[in-house]
Amino acid sequence: MNKIKIAIIGCGRISYKHVEAAVNNSAVCEITALCDPIIEKAEEKMREYKEKAGIEAKVYPDYKEALEREDIQMAVIATESGYHAEIAIYCLEKGLHVLVEKPMALSTKDAENMIEIAKKNNVKLGVCHQNRFNPPIQKLRRAIDKGGFGRIINGTARILWNRNQGYYTQAPWRGTWELDGGTLMNQCIHNIDLLQWMMGSEVHSIYSQCDTFMRDIEGEDFGAIIIRFKNGSIGIIEGTACVYPKNLEETLSIFGEKGTVCIGGLAVNNIETWKFESEELNNQQISNGEEPDSVYGYGHTPLYKDFINAIINNVEPLISGEEGKKAMEIILGAYKSRLLDKKVNFPIGDFSTLQMKNIRQRGE
């Protein structure tokens, strides 16, 4: 079988995880091109890949040139968030399969365009919500699918982290409405995706309170969201970049009439509470495995495996464009609620982070 040839577009903070995932799936894929306008970043990843895989990928400052000159079937987009949609649409129109880092876009319209163009060109579109592949998360999802919770009453996602001012100063695109959003969109989206995936229902409405307390950024450094799902259950999200002096916790908790599960750890990777009425579920072996090296966890490797399997066998990946849009729309719904200072019903319609440009900060 011919290997899937990959171009990685964007060689910044998260790109080492994509190199690692490609190496760990080397039986079915290989990196052909590494692209970044700061060519030194692409060259660094090229050396990293050569050391791990024994293959020297080409480096390009311009991803469009790479796609013209190299034989590429799959584009991985790991640039600043505000460029995701533009680059993804270009690649999808070229007939490439696209795996894009979270968030897939910063507007509902762009996300919908990406989904439609992928369908039109009969290519796969996937979004990097890699924590869905964590073994404890998969275990929780199986318990839900078996009906172990009975009726799910509520779920909570808490992302209590620290991102100091230096984090934003080092990369000035962070925290801007044009290229990022605030802590909900950047730091909290993974856990928000997990929460909505577990609740077994579409979103009915959202109400949020957000503000910027400590960091000199446009977006929020603290946000709270209450979600009402169509099945009546309630989701509660608490996300902050202001915890002193360092990251405190990232926790997902699901509560039902017959079960309670709390998953924490560095990357939502440790089962902390596992209680069920069902003797079969309650007596299951709890094994959390190796602690990950960062908040990114170990999910990119199975994410790549799943996405490449979707390409080869023409099936949908676990986190398709439609799935990737769900957490992004929840956050955009929270921003719209903040902007209008009222509850927002779903779907939220055409909305973008750019519509937040004139929001008043600090005690609005």
Quickly state the pLDDT bin for 288 (edges 50, 70, 90). confident
Residues whose CB falls within 8 Å of the CB of residue 210, separated by 6 or more in sequence, listed in order: 182, 184, 220, 222, 223, 224, 334, 335, 338
Q: What is the pTM of this model?
A: 0.96
Mean of pLDDT values over 123-134: 97
C-beta atoms surrounding 155 within 10 Å: 26
Do you know the residue count of the chain? 364
For the record, the structure tokens of 151 come out as 């009726």
Token look-up 């490609």 returns 22
For the record, the structure tokens of 33 come out as 């091109």
Percent of residues, the chain, with pLDDT higher than 70: 98
Token look-up 């490797």 returns 301
C-alpha pair distances (Å), 319 with each of 127, 128, 218, 348: 6, 7, 29, 21
DSSP-derived secondary structure for 256-298: ETTEEEEEETTTT-EEEEEEESSHHHHTS-----SPPSSTTTT
How much is the mean pLDDT over the chain? 95
What are phi and psi for residue 67, nearest 5 degrees? -70, -30
Would you state the pLDDT for residue 364? 44
Quickly state the pLDDT bin for 281 (edges 50, 70, 90). very high
What are phi and psi for residue 314, nearest 5 degrees? 50, 55
Evaluate if residue 287 carries a pLDDT over 80: no
Helix (H) or strand (E) holding 316: none
Beta bridge partners of 250: 159
Distance CA 194, CA 141 (A): 10
Cβ atoms of 333 and 348 closer than 8 Å: yes
pLDDT in tens, 64-120: 999 999 999 999 999 999 999 999 999 999 999 999 999 999 999 999 999 999 999
Would you state the pLDDT for residue 363? 45
Cβ atoms of 241 and 222 closer than 8 Å: yes
Classify residue 3 by its DSSP letter: P
Quickly state the pLDDT bin for 289 (edges 50, 70, 90). low
Distance CA 211, CA 207 (A): 14
Cβ atoms of 318 and 132 closer than 8 Å: yes
pLDDT in tens, 299-355: 999 999 999 999 999 999 999 999 999 999 999 999 999 999 999 999 999 999 999
Mean of pLDDT values over 168-197: 97
Distance CA 254, CA 329 (A): 21
Percent of residues, the chain, with pLDDT higher than 90: 92
pLDDT in tens, 207-249: 999 999 999 999 999 999 999 999 999 999 999 999 999 999 9
Cβ atoms of 266 and 161 closer than 8 Å: no
Which residue type, as a one-letter code, is found at position 51? E
Between 32 and 289, the more confident residue is 32
Evaluate if residue 282 carries a pLDDT over 80: yes
Helix (H) or strand (E) holding 348: none
pLDDT in tens, 315-327: 999 999 999 999 9
